[in-house]
Amino acid sequence: MTDTVSADLGGTWLRIRVGSAIERFPAPSVLQQPGLSVDRLLQQLVDTLDVHVPHGARVNMSCGAALDEQKGVALGSGPLWGDAPSGEIPLLHMLSSRRPDVRWTLVNDVTAGLASYARGFARPTDRHLAYITISSGIAVRTAYLAEKVVPVDHRGLQGEVGHVRAVSSAPPAVLRLPCACGGVGHISSMSSGPGVAAVAQVLGIDYEERIFASSLAEGTDDLARLLTVVVEPIAELIRTMITLDPRLDRIGIGGGVAEGLVEFYERELIAQLAGSRSYADSLTSDRVREIIHVCAPGDIDTLSGADAIADGYLRVTKI
């Protein structure tokens, strides 16, 4: 029987699961090893996988990079490899050249998160289901469950919303915050992990990620205000998503920022979404609660999500 190896390549860790054992290595990324060139980092990735993958195995790898999954080409990722000179990294070709005996499947980590979320939480009546990750970066993927499809554009992309302008009523200093992509005032600038810290700094709020949830539990006003500001661009994004797609029945929200605050994040999001502004809003509190689900740590497993995509649970399809 063919061995199946699952891997998850993030900016911080490379995790490899063989059988039931998971090994973790510092990621071959500019974030973890800023002194090394992109070529050297990619070499290290190929070397590490080469050592750990048995002969003739199939490997399903979730990658924290914008990815054309059909071609196996990475289209850029700041935390992993910075801005590659060509803008494209032929990841599948590099892995297949070293290990032609292996069947490689590369999956974007948000797509893997979506598959994991759908497997764990989709209800039989759900038609379109979205997963938003809010961590060092922000992105969303939507699956059409009846067709078992994740539609993508001609480059293999869908839902790279972290780098669109945030809708926010925050003070001008917050709206001018820079983004890692070089832009200004993007959703990632204020709602990602680094974004939350940056917003706290410009608002003069004493903030420490480690104790954010416990401080909110104690009812610290400044931190409640911080949460309101950083959730607003996400609430506005979700309001737009629901307005555009009447079949969107469920939205899972995961990633370190949301999962670290679970019930606080969900309460704030639901409070902001339930406010009706015009006839266009059909969002009652009950309807919002049916749609929105903030994930707890452990709800999303990108290793299993990559396996699910490789098994055809959802097909990533250019349409």
Interface contacts to Zn ion, rule CB under 5 A: 163, 179, 181, 183, 186
CB 273 within 8 A of CB 238: yes
Task: Closer to Zn ion by CB, 166 or 316: give it.
Answer: 166
Task: Closer to Zn ion by CB, 119 or 165: give it.
Answer: 165
Task: Closer to Zn ion by CB, 36 or 180: give it.
Answer: 180
- Sign (positive or negative) of CA dihedral 233, 238, 239, 240: positive
| Nearest distance in Å: CB 184, Zn ion | 8
Task: Closer to Zn ion by CB, 163 or 267: give it.
Answer: 163
| Nearest distance in Å: CB 34, Zn ion | 20
Task: Closer to Zn ion by CB, 8 or 109: give it.
Answer: 109
Nearest-angstrom CA–CA distance, 105 and 7: 10
Residue 233 makes CB contacts below 8 A (sequence gap 6+) with 166, 167, 168, 187, 190, 191
Question: How many other CB atoms are there within 10 angstroms of residue 153's CB atom?
Answer: 11
| Nearest distance in Å: CB 189, Zn ion | 7
End-to-end CA distance of the chain: 35
| Nearest distance in Å: CB 75, Zn ion | 15
Strands 149-152 and 315-318: parallel
| Nearest distance in Å: CB 171, Zn ion | 20
Nearest-angstrom CA–CA distance, 305 and 295: 15
- Beta strands (DSSP E) in 3-96 are 4-9, 13-18, 21-26, 58-63, 67-68, 73-74
